[in-house]
Amino acid sequence: MATVQLVAQDRPVGRRAYLTQVRASGGIPAVLYGHGEPRPIQVPRREFQRILERHGSGGVFELILDGAPQPALLKEIDRHPVTDEIVNLGFQRVALTETVHARVPVALTGRDAVIARRGVVQSQLDAVEVECRAVDVPAVITVDLSGLEPGDVIRAGDLPLPEGVMLASTVDPEQVVVTISGAAVPATEEEALAAQEAETATEAA
């Protein structure tokens, strides 16, 4: 199970100024919902951003509230439209054994091997919706591109999902995740000259 701990605490509600105070003090306003009443909380910005950088947004978050762990999935990250700063988060309470839908990031490895074969990696999908028990939600789905050639395509149905994890019913297995196209091959001097002469002859005609 991919789980990361994050200390959270309740936050005041009722006035917009409270949200400003939370952000000014180094926190991110958040809401914890599902399995009961929504609970306004806040999490430390620096620690949350560190988790995003090291672990990504997938997997189960173990929110520590009042000293007790609460498993949750990160469902929403709202950002400022200009600064791209995180302004609000949405967490969903879960029981570890319940079946959930989760959006899991897709990570690509082996790009250098593709480039060495004059391939160009074109990513079409950076995350995919899966269905599984909360305890089985992966932090990331890794796709190894090192064995691919120009012209190859990876579709959602080709993703290497862990045991117990399947694509959500809303995901088309034929949806393209990544394509490998061929890089343009520079023309030789003779080919370039021949093309130029042909173009000149066409214009003269």
- Residue-wise pLDDT for 134-177, tens only, equals 999 999 999 999 999 999 999 999 999 999 999 999 999 999 99
Residues carrying CATH 2.40.240.10, the chain: 3-94
The model's pLDDT over 26-54, given as tens digits with 9 standing for 90+, comes to 999 999 999 999 999 999 999 999 999 98
Q: 36 to each of 32, 33, 68, 94, 154, how far by Cα in Å?
A: 9, 7, 16, 11, 40
Give the chain's length.
205
The encoded tokens of residue 44 equal 């430390």
102-132 residues labelled b (16+ CB within 10 A) or e (exposed): bbbbbebeeeeebeeeebeeeeeeebbebbb
d(CA 138, CA 160): 11
Question: Spelled out in words, what is the top-level CATH class assigned to the domain 3-94?
Answer: mainly beta
pTM of the predicted protein model: 0.78
Evaluated on CA atoms 19, 22, 26, 30, the torsion sign reads negative
Give residues with Cβ within 8 angstroms of 65, minimum separation 6: 8, 9, 10, 32, 39, 41
Backbone angles phi, psi at 195, to 5 degrees: -65, -40
Residues carrying CATH 2.170.120.20, the chain: 102-182
For domain 102-182, give its CATH number from 3.40.50.300, 3.30.310.50, 2.170.120.20, 2.40.50.100: 2.170.120.20
- Among the listed residues 33, 106, 107, 45, the one whose alpha carbon sits nearest the alpha carbon of residue 74: 33
Which pLDDT does position 27 carry in this prediction? Answer: 95
CA angle 137, 140, 142 (to 5 degrees): 130
d(CA 61, CA 70): 8
Instruction: Look at residue 185 and tell me whether its pLDDT is greater than 90.
Output: no
